[in-house]
């Protein structure tokens, strides 16, 4: 999907307490990986709880274009019959990854060690994002890439006929870069090594092990090192995708700032490489309770209860926590606006190259809602106005970014006056049921388009 339909303007109004159970959809990161590794295994992988958001559906179509059989059995239930490591066929047409950086970058890695040629594109947001961070290490492995200026899509990649294993230190904290190199390394002989300064989400490593690959993760002087032994035979798996902590963040944070709220979000993934938001919220004084912690499908999960927390205080978010909450800064900045004092979020330059420049998008929108925000090159500080202290009454630009759109709709639920987002359409990329789910809890949204 290179573009979604006409803009869907939407307004959130302040209203009553939020109560009930919020069953958020499957984890986006794990869903992409389940489809891609399923396509690289020999035999049939069965997936339940797959996120059926546009991003993941685009990845499913891409896997079919590379020769896998991808079939839907029912809601969230999918089967992938893979072609084996090195077995990708050449797609007949352009691969359109829509809005998804994760999709395009992981797929580029997965095809880079097979001698086929594929052309990738996406929507206006994805076409503006840097791909050199992926094609640089893939070139070391022997893949060739030709794209637009600045390493942007559309881009054509020809995979290596004789791939070399690489030993690569990622220049930025990025699970997408790490994962692309590891996926490419699957069809290289010998050991592919990735070293990262800060540990990023490790779903690829966990899932590769589940499929039978040898993957060793260790702490080294430079940070974290992952070593993959190439050319495994990946065995098909049965995968239950946990619910997405990044999607859970929206009803949870809404409950914290809307007076009287009490919301339960069951069965959310709490992999430590993803749970940084919840640590930050607890430091701010949020009333969060993790019930029934357990492990499911190789990932830690729990049920999370969130209640209105009128006395939250601003904090300095430790920059080293950034990889574990990189997608949650937009919604954290909304919570920060309803806390007392300043919340400092530094060391997050990566936010500027997400689906939008998220530092600028949040700073601009929060200022329009009456909140003081100081912006630096690598982060921002939100000067909180305390519970009920945000004026609202603004129309903000979502910039084709699902998390910006959801963050400002949550803001509008607790502000003094409504907040309108110019386009709620992109929410469907990661959280297709967001509006009905929030409405069932008590949110007052109106479609203005």
- As measured in angstroms, the least distance from the Cβ of 233 to ligand S3P is 24
Name the residue nearer to ligand S3P (CB basis): 135 or 179.
Answer: 179
Alpha helices in 186-342 (DSSP H): 203-210, 245-257, 276-284, 329-337
- CA distances for 231 relative to 33, 182, 346, angstroms: 18, 11, 40
- In the numeric block, which tokens belong to residue 354? 């997400």
- As measured in angstroms, the least distance from the Cβ of 368 to ligand S3P is 25
> What's the CA gap between 284 and 340, in Å, rounded?
9
- CA distances for 266 relative to 248, 281, 306, angstroms: 9, 18, 11
Active-site annotation holds for 327 = yes
> What's the CA gap between 400 and 161, in Å, rounded?
37
Instruction: Given the residues 244, 327, 401, 422, select the one marked as catalytic.
Output: 327
Name the residue nearer to ligand S3P (CB basis): 145 or 258.
Answer: 145
CB neighbours (10 Å) of residue 377? Answer: 8
CB neighbours (10 Å) of residue 114? Answer: 25
- As measured in angstroms, the least distance from the Cβ of 175 to ligand S3P is 4
- As measured in angstroms, the least distance from the Cβ of 369 to ligand S3P is 24
> What's the CA gap between 274 and 321, in Å, rounded?
10
Judged by the rule CB under 6 A, the positions of this chain that interact with ligand S3P are 29, 102, 174-176, 179, 201, 326-327, 350
- As measured in angstroms, the least distance from the Cβ of 30 to ligand S3P is 8
> What's the CA gap between 348 and 359, in Å, rounded?
8
Name the residue nearer to ligand S3P (CB basis): 176 or 343.
Answer: 176
> What's the CA gap between 295 and 302, in Å, rounded?
8
> What's the CA gap between 95 and 119, in Å, rounded?
6
Packing angle, helices 101-111 and 132-141, rounded to 10: 10
- Spell out the long-range contacts of 286-290 with Cβ–Cβ below 8 A and sequence spacing 24 or more: 286/256, 286/312, 286/335, 287/256, 288/252
Pairing of strands 287-296, 299-307: antiparallel
Name the residue nearer to ligand S3P (CB basis): 174 or 407.
Answer: 174
Q: Report which of 57, 73, 80, 26 is spatially closest to residue 236, judged by C-alpha positions.
A: 80
Name the residue nearer to ligand S3P (CB basis): 287 or 401.
Answer: 401
How does DSSP classify residue 319? Answer: G
Name the residue nearer to ligand S3P (CB basis): 18 or 24.
Answer: 24
Report, in angstroms and rounded to the nearest whole number, the Rg of the chain calculated over CA atoms.
21
Name the residue nearer to ligand S3P (CB basis): 179 or 195.
Answer: 179
The catalytic site residues sit at: 327
């Amino acid at each position: 999907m290179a573009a979604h339909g006409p803009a869907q303007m939407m307004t959130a109004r302040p209203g009553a307490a939020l109560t009930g159970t919020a069953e958020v959809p499957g984890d986006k990161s794990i869903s992409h990986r389940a489809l891609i590794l399923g396509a690289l295994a020999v035999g049939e992988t069965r997936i339940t709880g797959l996120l059926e958001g546009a991003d993941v559906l685009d990845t499913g179509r891409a896997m079919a274009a590379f020769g896998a059989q991808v079939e839907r059995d029912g809601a969230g239930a999918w089967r992938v019959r893979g072609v084996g490591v090195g077995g990708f066929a050449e797609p007949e047409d352009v691969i359109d990854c829509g809005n998804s950086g994760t999709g395009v970058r992981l797929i580029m890695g997965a095809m880079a060690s097979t001698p086929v040629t594929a052309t990738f594109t996406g929507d206006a947001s994805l076409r503006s994002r840097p791909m050199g961070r992926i094609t640089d290490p893939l070139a070391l492995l022997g893949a060739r890439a030709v794209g637009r200026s600045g390493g942007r899509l559309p881009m054509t990649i020809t995979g290596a006929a004789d791939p070399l294993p690489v030993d690569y230190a990622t220049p930025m904290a990025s699970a997408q870069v790490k994962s692309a190199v590891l996926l490419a390394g699957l069809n290289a002989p010998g050991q592919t090594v990735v070293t990262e300064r800060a540990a990023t989400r490790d779903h690829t490593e966990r899932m590769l092990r589940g499929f039978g690959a040898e993957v060793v993760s260790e702490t080294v002087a430079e940070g974290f090192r992952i070593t993959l032994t190439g050319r495994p035979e990946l065995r098909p798996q049965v995968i239950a995708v946990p619910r997405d902590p990044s999607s859970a963040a929206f009803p949870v944070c809404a409950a914290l700032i809307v007076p009287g709220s009490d919301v339960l979000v069951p069965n959310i993934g709490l992999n430590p490489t993803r749970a940084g938001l919840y640590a930050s919220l607890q430091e701010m004084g949020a009333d969060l309770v993790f019930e029934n912690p357990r492990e499911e499908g190789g990932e830690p999960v729990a049920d999370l209860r969130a209640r209105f927390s009128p006395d939250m205080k601003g904090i300095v978010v430790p920059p080293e926590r950034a990889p574990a909450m990189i997608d949650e800064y937009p919604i954290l900045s909304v919570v920060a606006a309803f806390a007392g004092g300043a919340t400092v979020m530094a060391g997050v330059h990566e936010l500027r190259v997400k689906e939008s420049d998220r530092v600028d998008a949040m700073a601009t929108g929060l200022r329009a809602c009456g909140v003081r925000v100081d912006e630096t090159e690598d982060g921002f500080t939100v000067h909180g106005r305390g519970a009920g202290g945000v004026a609202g009454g603004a129309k903000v630009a979502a910039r084709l970014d699902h998390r910006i759109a959801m963050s400002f709709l949550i803001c509008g639920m607790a502000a003094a006056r409504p907040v309108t987002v110019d386009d709620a359409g992109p929410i469907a990329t990661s959280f297709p049921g967001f509006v009905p789910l929030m409405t069932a809890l008590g949110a007052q949204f109106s479609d203005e388009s």
